[in-house]
């Protein structure tokens, strides 16, 4: 017969040690040089703004005049054609190849009114045809630099439906007007 190993007797579970007995010699840390666990609440009274002394008018005008080129292109785009357009597009647009189907005059409007009208005009004119004329003026009524002339050209460059634009000839407004070529309307649109 095989010999079976003898079963070891089970040890009785040890009693759980007393917490106070284990950590009785521990002393709390001193409070000195401790960082508070939370950030202090801000004062309910706001800080007083720094008082700025106004600049002399001559210096302010010179500063503003020099800052114009920081945010806008230095030169006006006399023409623009989206990439991928044939090289003859601008020549054909200048030559009147496409008939002008609508015209928008922005004289006397501020930049916000002009942007709203231009957006609606381009949306509506696209159903009439491909070529439109936009009159923004030459900027003689502006103080210093023309505002709409620069902004309209920038807006048109970023509008997804505009394929190309160029300045109109002198009979149609010269540098105060643009001939704009729009994308053809899709036949699938309702």
Break the chain into its structural domains and give their ranges.
Answer: 77-182
pLDDT at 69: 47
pTM exceeding the 0.75 threshold for the entire prediction: no
Give the residue among 139, 133, 143 at the shortest CA–CA distance from 180.
Answer: 133
Structure tokens at 138: 């030459």
Question: Does 66 have pLDDT greater than 60?
Answer: no
Is pLDDT at 4 greater than 90 in this prediction?
A: no
Q: What pLDDT band is residue 125 in, cutting at 50, 70 and 90? A: confident
**The pLDDT of residue 74:** 53
Give the HSE-up count for residue 104: Cα atoms under 13 Å, Cβ half-sphere. Answer: 24
The topology (CATH level 3) of 77-182 is Ribosomal Protein S8; Chain: A, domain 1 (3.30.1370)
Average pLDDT over residues 16-38: 78
Provide the pLDDT for residue 182: 92
Strands (E), the chain: 79-81, 100-105, 131-135, 162-167, 177-182
Among 3-12, 22-31, 44-53, the range scoring the smallest mean pLDDT is: 3-12
- Average pLDDT of the segment spanning 75-83: 77
Instruction: Name the token pair of 61.
Output: 């005008």
Residue written as token pair 């210096």: 59
- pLDDT: which is higher, 190 or 97: 97
Q: Please state, in angstroms and rounded to a whole number, the distance separating the CA atoms of residues 158 and 154.
A: 7
């Amino acid at each position: 017969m095989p010999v079976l190993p003898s079963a070891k007797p089970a040890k009785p579970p040890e009693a759980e040690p007393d917490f106070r007995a284990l950590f009785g010699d521990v002393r709390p840390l001193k409070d000195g040089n401790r960082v508070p666990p939370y950030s202090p609440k801000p004062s309910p009274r706001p800080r007083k703004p720094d008082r700025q002394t106004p600049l002399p008018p001559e210096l302010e005008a010179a500063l503003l005049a020099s800052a114009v080129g920081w945010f806008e292109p230095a030169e006006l785009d006399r023409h623009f054609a989206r990439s991928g357009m044939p090289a003859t597009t601008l020549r054909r647009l200048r030559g009147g190849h496409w008939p002008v189907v609508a015209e928008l005059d922005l004289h006397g409007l501020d930049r916000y009114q002009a942007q709203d009208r231009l957006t609606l005009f381009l949306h509506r004119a696209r159903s009439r045809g491909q070529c439109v004329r936009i009159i923004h003026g030459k900027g003689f009524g502006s103080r210093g630099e023309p505002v709409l002339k620069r902004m309209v050209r920038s807006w048109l460059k970023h509008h997804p439906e505009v394929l190309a634009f160029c300045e109109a000839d002198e009979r149609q407004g010269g540098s105060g007007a643009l001939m704009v070529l729009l994308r053809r309307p899709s036949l699938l649109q309702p």
